[in-house]
């Protein structure tokens, strides 16, 4: 099935990953959604372009996941990704023209999504104009992540005393560091990342890891001591390093998760790396941990729309 909508001389349509990247190669440096062809993980990962009908110029791009829930079509972010990777091309004029251009593209996207009954997607933090979605009847909510400048990570000036003490202690504990994703490390990642998720998502996760391992920009660190270990992994996207997954065994007196994450980021500190993105931070314990690095709380927006039948069921407590 080919998905296509046309609104106000802008065309929003499904596009292959290869054709999208051919149109704009620098998308690979914009968002995790574009560093690989995730449609190879599953055909329900779908890429879309927003184009000007008259000029065929690429104005926007995004990635969605199509699934069935309760027998109905459901649109969401790609599984395990923080957002849909919405990219909007810049308009090189004054602020009025920039805002108007963005509004036009977002209105086209809101109209496109408005044709579906069940939607739950998030946008990159750079996208803050939610008015077209309000106007289309979506519920718009703020969510949060943490981002840390590499200059701050080097000094950890804003980090908690607890984190600084943990890192100092870890350096003296004889922890061995490996840059490998063996079966035990993979199992730790799966146990941590798949909690509370559906069985089918385990399949997606394993395939996603297989694709990530083929990328030159993917990094993993395993910290090991006394037959216990922690593992963290992430990927370079342009001038940012995105933390993706982590897991650790419980070890008395040691935080191997902290050791692996600290070493993972340290390995990536090059001159052109500007930002560390910890991604999703809505779980209280995870939020507190990322906050301890002295990272900056960063809002991003989520829009939802549910089928009317779900509202009736909630009202009747069915």
Q: Is the pLDDT confidence value at 300 over 90? A: yes
How far is the C-alpha of 167 from the C-alpha of 177, rounded, in Å? Answer: 14
Asked if residue 232 and residue 131 are part of one domain, the reply reads: no
Q: Cβ(220)–Cβ(264) under 8 Å? A: yes
CATH code, domain with 206: 3.40.630.30
Q: Which residues, listed in sequence order, are joined to residue 119 by a DSSP beta bridge?
A: 75, 305
What DSSP letter does each residue of 69-123 carry, written as one string?
A: ETTEEEEESPTT-SS---EE----S-HHHHHHHHHHHHHHHHHHHHTSS-EEEE-
Torsion of CA 113, 29, 292, 173, to 10 degrees: 140
Answer whether residue 234 is part of any domain: yes
Please tell me whether residues 116 and 14 are part of one structural domain.
yes
Q: Nearest Cα to 281, choosing from 160, 133, 122?
A: 122
What is the per-residue pLDDT for 317?
Answer: 57
Tell me whether residue 48 is in a domain: yes
At a CB cut-off of 8 Å and minimum separation 6, what does 106 contact?
Answer: 88, 127, 129, 131, 132, 133
Distance CA 41, CA 50 (A): 23
Residue 71 lies in domain: 4-137
Domain count, the chain: 2
- 215: confidence class by pLDDT, cuts 50, 70, 90: very high
Q: How confident is the model at residue 316 (pLDDT cuts 50, 70, 90)?
A: very low
State which of 137, 170, 186 marks the end of a domain.
137
pTM of the model: 0.88
- 65 in any annotated domain: yes
Residue 291 lies in a domain: yes
Say which range, 92-101, 109-118, 210-219, has the weakest mean pLDDT: 92-101
Q: Which of 81, 114, 137 finishes a domain?
A: 137
What pLDDT, on the 0 to 100 scale, is given for residue 315?
44
Mark whether 124 and 163 lie in a shared domain.
no
């Amino acid at each position: 099935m080919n998905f296509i909508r046309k609104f106000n001389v802008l065309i929003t349509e499904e596009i292959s990953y290869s054709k999208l990247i051919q149109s704009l190669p620098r998308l690979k440096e914009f968002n995790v959604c574009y560093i690989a062809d995730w449609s190879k993980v599953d055909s329900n990962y779908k890429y879309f372009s927003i184009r000007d009908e008259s000029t065929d110029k690429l104005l926007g791009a995004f990635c969605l996941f199509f699934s069935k829930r309760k027998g109905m079509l459901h649109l969401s972010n790609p599984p395990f990704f923080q957002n849909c990777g919405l990219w909007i091309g810049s308009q090189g004029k004054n602020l009025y023209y920039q805002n108007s251009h963005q509004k036009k593209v977002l209105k086209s996207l809101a109209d496109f999504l408005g044709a579906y009954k069940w939607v739950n997607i998030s946008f990159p933090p750079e996208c803050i104009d939610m008015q077209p979605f309000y106007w289309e009847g979506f519920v718009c909510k703020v969510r949060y992540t943490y981002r840390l400048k590499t200059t701050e990570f080097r000094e950890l000036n804003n980090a908690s005393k607890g984190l600084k003490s943990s890192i100092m202690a870890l350096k003296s504990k004889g922890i061995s560091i490996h840059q490998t994703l063996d079966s035990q490390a993979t199992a730790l990642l799966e146990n941590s990342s798949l909690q509370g998720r559906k069985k089918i998502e385990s399949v997606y996760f394993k395939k996603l890891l297989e694709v990530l391992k083929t990328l030159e920009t993917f990094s993993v660190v395993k910290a090991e001591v006394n037959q216990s270990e922690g593992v963290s992994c992430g990927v370079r996207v342009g001038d940012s390093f995105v933390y993706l997954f982590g897991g650790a065994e419980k070890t008395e007196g040691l935080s191997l998760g902290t050791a692996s994450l600290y070493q993972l980021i340290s390995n990536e500190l090059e001159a052109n790396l500007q930002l560390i993105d910890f991604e999703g931070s809505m779980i209280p314990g995870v939020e507190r941990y990322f906050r301890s690095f002295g990272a900056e709380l960063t809002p991003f927006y989520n829009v939802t729309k549910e089928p009317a039948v779900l509202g009736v069921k909630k009202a009747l407590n069915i």
